[in-house]
Structure 1
Amino acid sequence: MATKIYLNYIKFICLFSGLIIGFSSCSNKPYQTLFEPNGNITANQPNNFTIAGVYKIKPEDILQVRNLQNIKFILEDVNTSASSSQGSGSNAASQAYPVEQDGTVALPVIGHVAVAGLTRQEASKAIEDMYRKKLIKDPIIEVKIINLKVSVFGEVRSPGNYALVKDKTTLIDVLGQAGGITDKGNEKRVKIIRGGTVNPQVTEINLSELESLTNPAVIMQNDDIVYVGQNKRAVRNDKIQNISTIVQPTLLLLNTVLLLFTLK
């Protein structure tokens, strides 16, 4: 009787272990196929970027405007404590100005300036010219577009949203801001998701190849998502850990039951 119970026990353990391994493999599948490529990203996606990767201002953008030469004519009463760490000198100040639907931005003294369709440098020049004509002798205007961002998550040290405050920000720049790829990360399959919810497209970048640095897709665009998945070693270790976590207490329980049967 005990031998028959033991054989049944062995059969059950084999079947149970097979099911556990199968379910563990299936549970990891969605994680590994997250953002699988379904198309190619070109350098000229419709995201208000030029072919060279330089952004053109559009309505509802938020501009940060600085007069590096003389702040008192533009931002007399602005609290500059929040922006002092970003400045190009202790005399710089800034404030956020929204671009209106007609493509203009309203600035102190000079009023509305048309900026839609201009790059950041072109907008700086246009604002400088207006202040030079109306108020300031030698203005030095700096413009930043502060609402542009990239989301980074997966196997990086500091996942989160990162602002695109300079032109031609690259994938390497953004990963650097996120603290770099962890030991579990797969640098050969870094995914960039672009196009929003209407037309999302995914491309994979192999950072172990030098050619990836010249790929136009690595120039970040507004609302890009960067995802770093796990490497094979990390995936394998996770599977083993998951199986071990589930199987060990189950085996302990079954061994206890078998022991009770054999003692009868």
Structure 2
Amino acid sequence: MKRPGAATIMCLLMATGCAPSLRGPNVLTGSDAYSLVPATDPQNAVATDYVIGAQDSINVEVLYEPDISRNDVAAGADGTVALPLIGQVRAAGLTAAQLSEVLRERYLRYYVDPRVMVSIAQSASHNVNVQGAVQKPGIYPLRGTTTLLDAIALASGEGYTASLSQVVVLRAIEGERHAALFDLNRIRRGEDPDPALQAGDVVVVGSSSIKELRRDILRATPMLNIFTLF
């Protein structure tokens, strides 16, 4: 199947100058968009503890035992960390508190009542990518529940050319990219709920300027592998 060219992608994603809107078979809107990227419930929202992932770095402090304490210990691609005395320990999939308890159990072989504290040094796996018409495009770490509005704030807010009714969230599900369209103006007015993001999401804020749009798409294309999205 022939892949779309850059001009077609720009029309599809931003819909400025080439098409009247982003609505189409490849971009979910309305309730369908929220089925892909559900909203948070402010009445029931509970902060989720950070779950360690592969390539994340952690700090491990064993109280009163500086010789075996370590900073910036990187989890490998298999999600394990290497620590003194106890060797390889699986960290991926655990919170810092859960891993602290696992390490405490391991160190009981060598110490009486060891006190272990694990903290996140650097996140490499739980990120959101914010692109397009924002002040500071980039990759930002997720901490607990992060919404679409939170992601825009992490990128220092929208740019002066932003088209806030044309904000797309790209999400990978079972190896395939899907797109959902949101209107930030309606979300900010409380007319629509604020969707919750997850690790690996890409947020693209549309532009009201075709010149700015072309620049943003050309910059984002190599990183997002956008020609394979739809």
- Correspondence for 2:57 among 47, 63, 81: 63
Secondary structure in 1 matching 2:115? coil
Structure 2 unaligned residues grouped into runs of 5+: 1-5, 15-21, 39-46, 214-230
C-alpha separation between the residues in 1 aligned to 2:178 and 2:118?
Answer: 37
Q: CA RMSD in A?
A: 3.8
Asked whether the equivalents of residues 131 and 204 of structure 2 are also in contact (C-alpha less than 8 Å), the reply is: yes
Is 2:100 the counterpart of 1:115?
Answer: no
Q: 1:161 matched to which residue of 2?
A: 139
Is 2:204 the counterpart of 1:227?
Answer: yes
In structure 2, give the amino acid aligned to 1:62.
D
Per-residue CA shift, 1:67-90, capped at 9, x if unaligned? 2855724446xxxxxxxxxxxxxx
Q: 1:200 matched to which residue of 2?
A: 177
Quote the offset at 1:29 in angstroms.
Answer: 6.8
Asked whether the equivalents of residues 155 and 228 of structure 1 are also in contact (C-alpha less than 8 Å), the reply is: yes
TM-score, scaled relative to structure 2: 0.59
* Distance of aligned partners of 1:126 and 1:197 in 2 relative to their CA distance in 1, 3 Å threshold: closer
Quote the offset at 1:107 in angstroms.
Answer: 1.6
Greater strand content: 2
Instruction: Within 5 Å, give how 1:27-38 maps onto structure 2.
Output: 30-34=9-13, 37-38=26-27
Instruction: Within 5 Å, give how 1:68-107 maps onto structure 2.
Output: 72-75=66-69, 94-99=71-76, 101=78, 103-107=79-83
C-alpha separation between the residues in 2 aligned to 1:72 and 1:38?
Answer: 54
Pick the structure with greater CA Rg.
1
Q: 1:180 matched to which residue of 2?
A: 157
Greater helix content: 1
C-alpha separation between the residues in 2 aligned to 1:177 and 1:68?
Answer: 33
Secondary structure in 1 matching 2:130? strand
In structure 2, give the amino acid aligned to 1:72.
P
Q: 2:120 matched to which residue of 1?
A: 143
In structure 1, give the amino acid aligned to 2:162.
G
Quote the offset at 1:226 in angstroms.
Answer: 0.8
C-alpha separation between the residues in 2 aligned to 1:119 and 1:211?
Answer: 35
In structure 2, give the amino acid aligned to 1:126.
V
Secondary structure in 1 matching 2:184? coil
**Structure 1 segments of 4+ aligned residues over 6 angstroms from their partners:** 52-55
Structure 1 unaligned residues grouped into runs of 5+: 1-26, 44-51, 77-93, 240-264
- Correspondence for 2:103 among 116, 120, 127: 127
Asked whether the equivalents of residues 37 and 180 of structure 2 are also in contact (C-alpha less than 8 Å), the reply is: no
Asked whether the equivalents of residues 184 and 230 of structure 1 are also in contact (C-alpha less than 8 Å), the reply is: yes
- RCO (CA 8 Å, sep 6+): is it higher in 1 or 2? 2
- Correspondence for 1:152 among 126, 130, 143: 130
In structure 1, give the amino acid aligned to 2:164.
E
In structure 1, give the amino acid aligned to 2:12.
T
Asked whether the equivalents of residues 130 and 204 of structure 2 are also in contact (C-alpha less than 8 Å), the reply is: yes
C-alpha separation between the residues in 1 aligned to 2:77 and 2:212?
Answer: 50
C-alpha separation between the residues in 2 aligned to 1:66 and 1:212?
Answer: 42
Quote the offset at 1:184 in angstroms.
Answer: 1.6
C-alpha separation between the residues in 2 aligned to 1:133 and 1:127?
Answer: 11
Instruction: Within 5 Å, give how 1:45-64 maps onto structure 2.
Output: 56-57=51-52, 60-64=54-58
C-alpha separation between the residues in 1 aligned to 2:157 and 2:65?
Answer: 37
**Corresponding pairs, count:** 180
Secondary structure in 2 matching 1:113? strand
